[in-house]
Structure 1
Amino acid sequence: MAAEDSRKKPILISGAGLGSLLLAQALRRAGLPFIIYERDASLKFRGQGYRLRMSALGLDAIESVLTPEDWKRFWDTCGKTGGSGFAALNAITGEDITQPPPEKSQKMVEQERKGGPLDLESRDGKIVGIARGEMRELFMRGCEDQIHWSHNVTGYEILDSGVRAIFSDGSKSEEGEMLIGGEGIYSKVAKQVSGGKLKTYDTGARGIHGQAPTTAFSKLGEGVWRAVDDSRGEGNKVFIITNVRPNDMDDPNVNFGWTMGAQPGVIEPPNGDYAIIGKTAADMAKSLVKDWHPRLKPLFDSMSEADAAFWKITCSTPWGVPEWTNEPRVTVIGDAAHSMTPAGGNGANTAVRDSALLGKLIVDAGGFAKGITDKYEKEMRVYGSEAVGQSYGMAKTQFGIDITENSPTV
């Protein structure tokens, strides 16, 4: 790592999620000072979500940022599952309902080249995945001392030659060269810098994350599985997605994760409280699958109840990342700029593309320079809008959602 230039003001980063941490790795590798402000009290403060599928573009972005040693550590941690798409099951009968892959038109081929969700295969003929928590820990390596926990950024102020973050208690950060908002769908930095144009809509669809020992997945076998239950009638579909990796399949000390999704109105936590985790979420999942096929029931009968968690399915403006008046010292990355539904698996992959792009621009300039955030935002809007549009289009079919300008926001 290059020696850090202590004379420079730091780059301020709001949020310690995947995109923020990968950006920090780019700055760390170049010896540029940075500070991360995270609202949570620690890495273990809340659940880390479901396993992420990495696309070719996402992997390329990560590899371009990390040192060769860190990249090898990341790649070795990833699971590699055979196959090039979902194997689908009827959740009630256990029947294989996998559709044969469509013949690819030239348009579909071009979509895949842009990182479209048409093919899950991403490297070496494998579907590559990694748990969000593992990925976050890997990206945090070497940055631990620069993370200020329990600092909730609620805004910022522009100074003559820098910027300060403003925290929820009214205090302010030290002066930085730039502020990068990477604090997710509730980002106050995003709302301020965009003048309210960046919005995240509540689709009404809901889900539950869970995990169980690998032995519970033995009747499925290796593959990326999607089980669908439409027995409740139109508008009440429930489904799960899980990735069964071959290397860990016989180790009862390893858990595989699954994620359940449902159309609006099917899953609602008590009092709308999405902070509730554990048995309450586990019991709701079990009640929804009580009539499911024996191939699938062990995933829930053997689940780790303490790790179950609700999740709210959100999406940014489906018709494209909006334009706003550029602020040279402030911009946003990841879900703060373009939140996506889980359909297509584009969210994390697009976030790391943001980090790689913005990080390169900052590193090449040796820190802040006029035009960096403008150049980043123009390029990000193109691929970010494509990714959100793809995700929303798939989610309309899977979740039965429909977003308009009058839909509720989070």
Structure 2
Amino acid sequence: MALNTRKPILISGAGLASLLLAQSLRRANIPFVVFERDASISFRAQGYRLRLSSQGLDAIESTLGPQGFAKFWDACGKTGGGGAAVLDAITGEDISTQSKDEEAQGSKAQLQSRGGQTVGIARGAMRKLFLEGCEPNVRWAHHVTGYELTGSGVRAIFADGSKSEEGEMLVGGEGVSSKVAKQLSNGKLKVYDTGARGIHGTASTTAFKGLGEGVWRITDNTKPGASVSIITNVRSKDMDDPEVIFGWTLAATPGVIQPPNDDYTILGKPAADIAKNLTKDWNPRFKPLVDDMIESEAAFWKITCSTPTGVPDWPNDSRVTVVGDAAHSMTPASGNGANTAVRDAELLGRLLTEAGGYADGVTAAYEKEMRDYASEAVRGSYGMASKAFGGKIDENSPTV
């Protein structure tokens, strides 16, 4: 069989959308190269457990195929229950029927993504599964800061000024700080700081015994003008194994979480100490989640969002496009960020596969369809977050 002599598809960033797109190209025998700024897949903390919607699972299944998806499905945790329940952090009471939390009240259909179960997986585990088989095509410690178009393709430009080999097209998937997105859209793609803040944490299953199986939001509204909440997903299958680690994410309205020197790159004990202080008066049923946390795994995060009105238009370039958070950053309120990212990967991968690789019109078709579903997801994400976490943004708000 003749070797494939086509130039590769260049992919910037090794996040979820980028790696799932790489899997699509690998299965279609389309050459590709992934450039990632980190030195390895385990270079830094990978964040909170992801909740997968029906659409997200469908996109992953379509991309990985039956055998690949079976392995992915086995790695996912499945949680029963009727959707997210809201608990009062101080009294311990179930206040779901009283809550105005739209995510808890309106997400049952989305939560129960397959077989009446909530399906989730840690971001780090998901990335590792998407990486399998693509390792020879990933170049670590390559920080893409821009690109240049050539007569017959495109080259990625790295932070040290060097350039990649020529590719047929470039896909920017480097997340909220994507330089490819800024260059492609001439600054139209923006990510705003909502002012709301959070802390990721993990603990042994023993800390979650007081909750039991389910998807839980624990909410503290005792301080005037401020709100702190933790959301977590407890799977009964793993509850009796203290070696298994569950995660939670804490979110607070603007001004509540202030790390030392406003440095959100600090990890570990400083973040853990803030979380413990914020929850020190909580009900004994919930305190072990934070008091018994693995301090070294704690991490700050800023709650950001793309333009609330949706994904903006920019002049199409047949050689360059963007996927995932580079195209549409979302708050965690609706649980749709990762699900929308994998939909991007499936759609673009399918279009490239049908075309046999780069072809005129592929990026235009992808962007047209992506804008529709991603804009809806961004609007929903922002609407829920503004109610749950506070923080209002508009075109004049600070960007990140």
Structure-1-length-normalised TM-score: 0.94
Contact 1:87 1:98 in 2 (8 A): yes
SS in 2 for 1:402: coil
In 2, distance between residues paired with 1:308 and 1:254?
17
SS in 2 for 1:225: strand
Contact 1:52 1:130 in 2 (8 A): yes
* CA-CA distance at 1:270 after TM superposition: 1.2
Match of 1:145 in 2: 136
Match of 2:91 in 1: 93
1:336-347 maps to which residues of 2 (within 5 A)? Answer: 336-347=326-337
Match of 1:308 in 2: 298
- The residue type equivalent to 2:77 in the other structure is G
Match of 2:288 in 1: 298
Match of 1:26 in 2: 24
Out of 240, 253, 258, the position equivalent to 1:263 is 253
SS in 1 for 2:47: coil
1:191-210 maps to which residues of 2 (within 5 A)? Answer: 191-210=182-201
Match status 1:285 vs 2:283: no
1:119-158 maps to which residues of 2 (within 5 A)? Answer: 119-158=110-149
* CA-CA distance at 1:31 after TM superposition: 0.6
Match of 2:214 in 1: 223
* Change beyond 3 A, Cα 1:301–1:98: same
- The residue type equivalent to 1:65 in the other structure is T
* Change beyond 3 A, Cα 1:172–1:240: same
1:1-150 maps to which residues of 2 (within 5 A)? Answer: 5-99=3-97, 119-150=110-141
- Residues 92-101 or 265-274, more deviating: 92-101
Match of 1:401 in 2: 391
Contact 1:5 1:33 in 2 (8 A): no
- Residues 18-27 or 79-88, more deviating: 79-88
SS in 2 for 1:67: helix
SS in 1 for 2:359: coil
Contact 2:83 2:108 in 1 (8 A): no
* CA-CA distance at 1:44 after TM superposition: 1.2
In 1, distance between residues paired with 2:381 and 2:65?
31
SS in 2 for 1:392: helix
**C-alpha distance after superposition, 1:62-105 (max 9, x if no partner):** 00000322111100111110123111110011111012899xxx
In 1, distance between residues paired with 2:380 and 2:3?
41
Residue identity over aligned pairs, in percent, reads: 68
SS in 1 for 2:258: coil
Contact 2:268 2:297 in 1 (8 A): yes
* CA-CA distance at 1:338 after TM superposition: 0.3
Match of 1:366 in 2: 356
In 2, distance between residues paired with 1:40 and 1:268?
27
* CA-CA distance at 1:116 after TM superposition: 7.5
* CA-CA distance at 1:6 after TM superposition: 3.3
In 1, distance between residues paired with 2:38 and 2:316?
29
Contact 1:4 1:31 in 2 (8 A): no
Contact 2:53 2:110 in 1 (8 A): no
SS in 1 for 2:261: helix
In 1, distance between residues paired with 2:3 and 2:299?
42
- The residue type equivalent to 2:121 in the other structure is I
* Change beyond 3 A, Cα 1:13–1:357: same
Q: Which runs of 5+ in 1 are unaligned?
A: 103-111
In 2, distance between residues paired with 1:83 and 1:401?
31
In 2, distance between residues paired with 1:68 and 1:314?
35
**C-alpha distance after superposition, 1:327-386 (max 9, x if no partner):** 000000000000000001000000000000000001110111000000100000000000
* Change beyond 3 A, Cα 1:196–1:174: same
In 2, distance between residues paired with 1:35 and 1:241?
37
* Change beyond 3 A, Cα 1:344–1:88: same
In 2, distance between residues paired with 1:80 and 1:8?
42
- The residue type equivalent to 1:167 in the other structure is F
* CA-CA distance at 1:43 after TM superposition: 1.0
Match status 1:169 vs 2:160: yes
Contact 1:117 1:345 in 2 (8 A): no
SS in 2 for 1:84: coil
In 2, distance between residues paired with 1:192 and 1:338?
15
In 2, distance between residues paired with 1:65 and 1:298?
39
* Change beyond 3 A, Cα 1:60–1:131: same
* Change beyond 3 A, Cα 1:189–1:148: same
Q: Which runs of 5+ in 2 are unaligned?
A: none
* CA-CA distance at 1:272 after TM superposition: 1.8
What number of residue pairs does the alignment pair up?
A: 396
* CA-CA distance at 1:404 after TM superposition: 1.1
Match of 2:175 in 1: 184
Contact 1:116 1:390 in 2 (8 A): no
Match status 1:332 vs 2:311: no
- Residues 335-344 or 80-89, more deviating: 80-89
Match status 1:384 vs 2:382: no
Contact 2:172 2:326 in 1 (8 A): yes
* CA-CA distance at 1:118 after TM superposition: 5.8
Which consecutive segments of 4 or more residues in structure 1 shift more than 4 A? 115-118
